[in-house]
Amino acid sequence: MKARLGPLPYIYPIPITLVGANVEGRPNFETIGDTGLAGIDPPLVFVSSHRDHYTNLGILASGTFSINFPTTAMLARVDFCGTVSGRDADKSALFEVFYGDTGTAPMIAECPVNLECRLLQQFCIRHRQVFIGEVLQCFAGEEFVHMDGGRPRFVDLPTLDPILYALDNQYYRVGARIGTGYQEAEKWKGDAT
Amino acid sequence: MKARLGPLPYIYPIPITLVGANVEGRPNFETIGDTGLAGIDPPLVFVSSHRDHYTNLGILASGTFSINFPTTAMLARVDFCGTVSGRDADKSALFEVFYGDTGTAPMIAECPVNLECRLLQQFCIRHRQVFIGEVLQCFAGEEFVHMDGGRPRFVDLPTLDPILYALDNQYYRVGARIGTGYQEAEKWKGDAT
């Protein structure tokens, strides 16, 4: 028997990211779980932010932004970034910042992976501002990736050590590897015969 | 020093979901990691699917769809659903299906949580079809939630036991709880003084 809980968008798990943009001349970072993959080829990402959020101003003005993936060791700073607005606090010194070719999307050196993005499309749904971005460049710490036949091969998720979140308002780490894409299906086909 | 890996949308972790719609009179489910939260109030979700995918036809025709969160115990079936199209295989018998008030968004009984959604907006970016949905109803197995002062309180993520994915093509489970939202920030403010 299922309980009906009303119109609750209980998506889980949520990847915790720091979305970066320069606003009024300085780097600002917003903690966001409302983000995700929107396509691999073309390389698309999706970010949804409250319409009043300070970071939005920088994304709209520059047409660029970054998505940065913090580690669990950065949890206190990441949570802090989600509790104060750039309008009220200068967050530019919280992290070591670097730039890519656009020169306008601030990225966080301490994060293992950073995506430098170009704003492709944006629209509002009620008080939400939705951004669709195209990834121009993926940056990764050299200890987290090696090239294998011309293609990047990343270390496993537990080593990248991202922060997960759920709408129970709790943070989690990643657990053990349990399988490989497009190979587990074989086990099901076996069951079905 | 950061390596430049090109335009790779290395978002992680990715939540693995089964997106459901009735197509040509029968339930179909598509394994999708290209989904996420787009807002809590209003309750918005986001799904991106290749323009040719079979499930899209049902979403567009009915204006409804579901997002279902499988457990790691369902991994082989979930992976299977991502390897075959509903055009070539009848996936309606893979799961026990139930419906909510719309009557057109098939949901999976074995999944701890199901979101019944109404299509709010859709557009294409190159060969991607993006759907923004509003959650009409969240269903949860009664063993996974209890009411606390009129609000639902879910069990923790490891008990919901969702499947994570990353673009290393590996599946993972969720690990341990590491903190509470809007409380970890206090530790940082402590460091900063």
Query: For A4-43, what is each residue's pLDDT tens digit?
Result: 999 999 999 999 999 999 999 999 999 999 999 999 989 9
Residues of B in contact with A166 (CB under 8 A): 154, 157, 160
Q: Provide the shortest C-alpha distance from residue A25 to chain B (in Å).
A: 23
Question: Given CB atoms, is B145 within the 8 Å cutoff of chain A?
Answer: yes
| pLDDT for the residue numbered A44 | 97
Mean pLDDT of B92-116: 96
What pLDDT does B113 receive? 98
* Mean pLDDT, residues B73-96 taken together: 90
Q: What is the pLDDT of residue A193?
A: 39
More confident call, B89 vs B129: B129
Percent of chain B with pLDDT strictly greater than 70: 97
Mutation target among B5, B10, B171 for the A interface, most CBs of A within 10 A: B10
pLDDT higher than threshold 90 for residue B139: yes
Residues whose CB is less than 8 angstroms from the CB of residue A25 and which lie 6 or more positions away in sequence, other chains included: none
Percent above pLDDT 90 for chain B: 83
Instruction: Give the C-alpha separation, A15 to B67, whole Å.
Output: 17
Q: Which of A168, A187, A189, A191 to mutate to test the interface with B (most CBs of B within 10 A)?
A: A168
- Residue to mutate among A10, A65, A80, A161, with most B CBs inside 10 A, is A10
A37, B37: Cβ pair inside 8 Å? no
Lowest mean pLDDT among A146-155, A169-178, B22-31: A146-155
Cβ count near B142 (within 10 Å) = 9
- What does each C-alpha distance from B134 to B15, B154, B160 come to in angstroms? 18, 21, 23
Taking residues A135-163, what's their average pLDDT? 94
Helix (H, G, I), strand (E, B) or coil at B190: helix
pLDDT band at B15 (very low <50, low <70, confident <90, very high): very high
Q: Name the strands in the sheet holding B164-166, side by side, starting at the edge strand that comes first in the sequence.
A: A14-15, A164-166, A170-180, B170-180, B164-166, B14-15
CB B111, CB B103: distance < 8 Å: no
A93 at B interface, C-beta within 8 A = no
> Are the Cβ atoms of B46 and A48 closer than 8 angstroms?
yes
Q: How confident is the model at residue B12, as a pLDDT?
A: 96
- Looking at residue A84, its pLDDT comes to 85
> With an 8 Å Cβ cutoff, are A3 and B142 in contact?
yes
Predicted local confidence at residue A85, as pLDDT: 86
Question: In chain B, which among 2-61 make CB contacts under 8 A with chain A?
Answer: 2-15, 33-40, 42-46, 48
Mean pLDDT of chain B: 93
- Report pLDDT digits (tens) over B43-72: 999 999 999 999 999 999 999 999 999 999
CB B116 within 8 A of CB B137: yes
**pLDDT tens figures, A53-86:** 999 999 999 999 999 999 999 999 999 998 888 8
CA A166 to chain centre: 15
Fill in the DSSP letter of residue A163. P
**Cα A45 to Cα A32: distance, rounded to the nearest angstrom:** 13
Residue B162 sits at the chain A interface (C-beta within 8 Å) = yes
Using 50, 70 and 90 to split pLDDT, how confident is the model at B32?
very high
Q: How far is CA A101 from CA A68, A97, B11, B182, in A?
A: 16, 14, 20, 34
**pLDDT-based confidence at residue A99 (cuts at 50, 70, 90):** very high
Stated as kind and residue range, the H or E segment containing B124 is strand B113-125
How far is Cα B138 from Cα B131, in angstroms, rounded to an integer? 18
3-state DSSP of A52-87? CCHHHHHHHHHCEEEEEECEHHHHHHHHHHCCCCCC
Residue B170 buriedness (CB in 10 A; 0-12 / 13-18 / 19+):
middle
State mean pLDDT over A117-144: 96
Helix ranges (H only) for chain B are 54-62, 75-81, 157-160, 185-192
Q: Residue B175 and residue B189: Cα distance in Å, rounded?
A: 26
B29 in the Ramachandran plot: left (φ > 0), alpha (ψ -120 to 50) or beta?
beta
Q: Which of A4, A39, A174 sits opposite B13 (nearest CB)?
A: A174
Contact in structure between A98 and A140 (CB atoms under 8 Å): no
Best CA proximity match to A123, nearest among A66, A68, A56: A56
pLDDT at B89: 84
| Across A111-115, average pLDDT | 98
Q: How many CB pairs under 8 A join A and B?
A: 362
Is B176 in Cβ contact with A170 (below 8 Å)? no
Query: CA–CA separation, B58 vs B117, rounded Å?
Result: 13
Q: Are B15 and B33 in contact (CB under 8 A)?
A: yes
Interface touch A170/B154, C-beta < 8 Å: no
A17: which strand partners?
A32
pLDDT band of A191, cuts 50, 70, 90: low
* pLDDT at B147 > cutoff 90: no
Do B75 and A173 count as a contact with CB atoms less than 8 A apart?
no
Write down the pTM of the prediction: 0.95
- What's the whole-number average pLDDT of chain A? 93
